[in-house]
Chains A and B, each alone.
Chain A
């Protein structure tokens, strides 16, 4: 082979075949045009941008392992006598669904591994979805032009919960069956249609003989189908709109700075898939999840202490536990507020609010600009406060969902825990909001100081005339870019009641409300220093530098190494008295 031949013909045989295939496809689909544009697509890099990838990859693991499970699982409530190899259940009547789950766990080689991978990856999937969503929320990545994708994300979150719950019940063990019983109670509490709805869902009076196969079809067909479709839409939108990026040197609202798809993201994203897959498989080999054989087959007259759902439903269970026992009977009809509010109304309000949030915030702040540069959470204190408030709210409810475990683990009374959490649920989220907002504002103030005077280096100098000053160090390029990226969020002006000619402003009340909400959002923000202020600050720093210059000269002779806040020993380090004395002695 000669080095003068064109690269194409001189390519590796595999590449030649690949090239022919690409041509074959291109002639039919025009795919090369797409490849030309997209193989070098640039993605910004940040660890938090990979949270969505964790969700996607764990979902792929869920699909793969789930497909394997369908080969062995039997979605039937028909009664069988178990005669598999798990002794403590041999000869017991149970549903075929439960028996086949036991077979997967005890008789099929690798079955338990796959089952555990399926369950662990499902937990990780929902968790990654939630964390990804919080990342998007806290950084304001949902703002124009990405509101649609936020809504798709909210829908995906809901579907992830549905996928989790429908799957949780399939083994038909005592724990998950009790969960179904609770769902029936919630369905029955829905006014007007609830009673019939429960009968339709269960195919008759609870538990009926249909629910497992119905959940199964939802779990393996309907819900994952919808998730796949929406994930596709989600990714197409990310692709089209290009990924957002954090502020930094060279990063603007009009560019994307990062690495190109081929080869770097191909390797990194592909590699991360295998890493997530690998971690899930290792975890499933090492740590047991959902030992269904311990709980026994489901029958509606048995129960176990410590009845809780998986973490993502746990907050709803906690809400059910904390709700006071309100029920009203009106004209002979029962309204079970104790179930409706925590089981239907609160999740309904939360998810609707979540979906509408981008529009609410845009309305409140009057911000209609396109945003591709992410907010630092501190620069949007109210939004950050709302997010933290939601986390605290969720945390308290989840804790309530495990209050019996908390009680036994810490030797407390469940009654006391429940009452405390009831109070905390009301008090703690607003408190968290206030603390977060104040913290954000303090951080903003610090940023302003840094822009004006640079770092506080912690070194105190005494000037010749006796004055003490602290030396301030200049910011490095990256910090400067990040801090000065802070966007301006002007508060919407207060409207006039009437214009100069005395004509009444018809939108006065609406505009006044928006003014107030916008002031609530950004009114307390610490303004970024003006250019003149920064210059004055820098001038000051230069003066200081001049004072310090002789000192620097001295320091440069013996470089002091600072590593992770600690000081490594170095010949130039100040010596102890004893050392100095010893040195002196050796010299003389």
Chain B
């Protein structure tokens, strides 16, 4: 009862159905009173609805804290439709989301049902300034120009412009060391060579420990139709240098495939295969995705990023998709111990094209 008393000291609410603001509805804007405007019971119901949502919201916050403390973050529960999901994430999301949502829903319901819904009108004013204001501004500008002498001292003016033009230069120059170029390093040369050289052993890629405890790959280990993702053995020396390791993987990665030698229609160099085993770069010549979707019957190599397709039985030529260049082939041979090795580096840069590539 005391709450109602409190309310009575405020200016009395106008009766339902009348606008509660200082505006009046405009004659030509149609307006229909709502149920809550005419029926006090409906208004009371709306009031309870809104308060109910706010109470539920508070309750959900409590539940959120309970869920946060009690549910182990690794617990999994089965929920129909969703499947097996993390219990913690689900509980936290539902309680928190519900709590927040209900505040919003309550506020909207309040606005829609209980606040005035009579549309009011405000006049617009032209955005253009009144003529007087413009003239005054122009006069002030003229005075300022005169007082500063900006027009009278051309030397000051020009040197100021010069100084302002030059001062950002240091900020740009300092960006130079975004790449601390090693002495003599040249991007074009860097992009044009890989770790492959004559005699470099080819080892299967097994992740971080690639090249350790594996002497190499013998040709007879790859059956016709076989595929091996491989790296130069020297990558094991880069194990602890993550930047060099990643760089090498992004550039020297190759795939070995074996096909019936009769099926090889052409390759990029005379005798670059070894008994039907062909080595191709694994880095797409389009924009550089690793590419190993090899179809052993069609000899097609498909890039999962943009679907460039290369024919590995035919010099790695592009047969479909946006790549413009064939897949570089690595010449291979067998060393004295019978393991597959590179016969040289790639003869052309691997990976995406670049301006100076030619």
Contact = CB atoms under 8 A, between A and B. Distances in A.
Direct contact of A and B (CB under 8 A): yes
A303 B304 contact: yes
Interface string B81-103: 01001101111111011111111
A327 B353 contact: yes
Contacts of B316: none
A258 B120 contact: yes
Contact of A189 (B108, B309, B354): B354
B113 to A, nearest CB: 11
Given A78-B242, A106-B74, A281-B100, A181 B89 contact: no
A270 interface: yes
A242 B229 CA distance: 63
Interface stretch (A332-340, A375-383, A529-537): A332-340
A41 interface: yes
A578 interface: no
B28 A334 contact: no
A250 interface: yes
B354 A188 contact: yes
Contact of A208 (B74, B243, B286): B243
A306 interface: yes
Interface centre among B94, B290, B352 (most CB of A within 10 A): B352
A199 B246 contact: no
A321 interface: yes
A97 interface: no
A478 B32 CA distance: 13
Contacts of A1: 9
B26 A250 contact: yes
Contacts, number: 341
Nearest to B124: A254
B307 A281 contact: no
A517 interface: no
Nearest to B86: A112
A205 B190 contact: yes
A253 B116 CA distance: 25
Interface stretch (A20-28, A260-268, A508-516): A260-268
Contact of A264 (B74, B111, B191): B111
B115 A285 contact: no
Interface string A360-383: 000000000010100000000000
Contacts of A285: 89-94, 96-97
Interface string A317-340: 100111111110100111110110
Interface stretch (B271-279, B321-329, B337-345): B321-329
Contacts of A201: 178
Nearest to B358: A332
B205 A338 contact: no
Interface stretch (A221-229, A271-279, A436-444, A551-559): A271-279
Contacts of B304: 303-307, 404
B134 to A, nearest CB: 16
B333 interface: no
A372 B97 contact: no
A524 B306 CA distance: 43
A196 B23 CA distance: 65
A181 B282 contact: no
Interface residues of A, number: 126
A182 B305 contact: yes
Nearest to B116: A264
B122 A195 contact: no
Contacts of A106: 73-74
A260 B119 CA distance: 8
Contacts of A169: none
A320 B322 contact: yes
A403 B247 contact: no
Given A325-B324, A327-B324, A284 B97 contact: yes
Contacts of A306: 304
Interface string A230-274: 000000000001100000111001111111100110011011111
Interface string A196-231: 101111111111111000000000000000000000
Interface string B173-209: 0010011110000011011000000000000010110
Contact of B353 (A10, A112, A284, A336): A336
Contacts of B93: 113, 116, 281-286
A240 to B, nearest CB: 8
B98 A181 contact: no
B29 interface: yes
A278 B100 contact: yes
Given A185-B286, A194-B354, A255 B324 contact: no
Contacts of B107: 267-268, 270-271, 274
A257 B306 contact: no
B6 interface: yes
B105 A271 contact: yes
Nearest to A330: B358
B163 interface: no
Contact of B320 (A109, A254, A305, A415): A415
B101 A274 contact: yes
A278 B121 contact: no
B121 A255 contact: yes
A75 to B, nearest CB: 15
Interface string B270-296: 000000000000110011111111000
Nearest to A15: B10
A278 B98 contact: yes
A181 B121 CA distance: 56
Contact of B126 (A85, A203, A325, A370): A370
A583 to B, nearest CB: 37
B68 A299 contact: no
Interface in A164-200: 178, 181-182, 184-186, 188-196, 198-200
Nearest to B95: A285
Contacts of A403: 307
A305 B305 CA distance: 8
B120 A241 contact: no
Contacts of B110: 267, 271
Contacts of B355: 188, 190-195, 333-335
A207 B247 contact: yes
B322 A338 contact: yes
Given A278-B102, A301-B205, A42 B122 contact: yes
B8 A259 contact: no
A29 interface: no
Interface centre among B106, B290, B305 (most CB of A within 10 A): B305
Contacts of B88: 109-110, 112
Contacts of A113: 89, 92-93, 96
Interface centre among B23, B102, B122 (most CB of A within 10 A): B122
Contacts of A303: 289-292, 304-305
B12 to A, nearest CB: 9
Contacts of A372: 124
Contacts of A317: 305-306
Nearest 8 Cβ contacts at the A-B interface: A285-B93, A278-B101, A185-B287, A274-B104, A271-B107, A300-B250, A281-B97, A282-B97
Given A317-B306, A321-B321, A414-B307, 5 more contacts: A109-B92, A203-B179, A206-B288, A277-B100, A278-B97
Interface of A: 1, 3, 5, 7, 10-12, 40-42, 45, 77-79, 85, 92-93, 95, 106-110, 112-113, 116, 145, 178, 181-182, 184-186, 188-196, 198-210, 241-242, 248-250, 253-260, 263-264, 267-268, 270-286, 288, 299-307, 317, 320-327, 329, 332-336, 338-339, 342, 370, 372, 403-404, 414-415, 418, 477-478
18 contacts: A3-B9, A79-B242, A93-B207, A109-B73, A113-B96, A181-B288, A182-B288, A185-B287, A200-B175, A205-B251, A207-B247, A257-B120, A278-B101, A301-B283, A325-B286, A334-B354, A403-B307, A415-B309
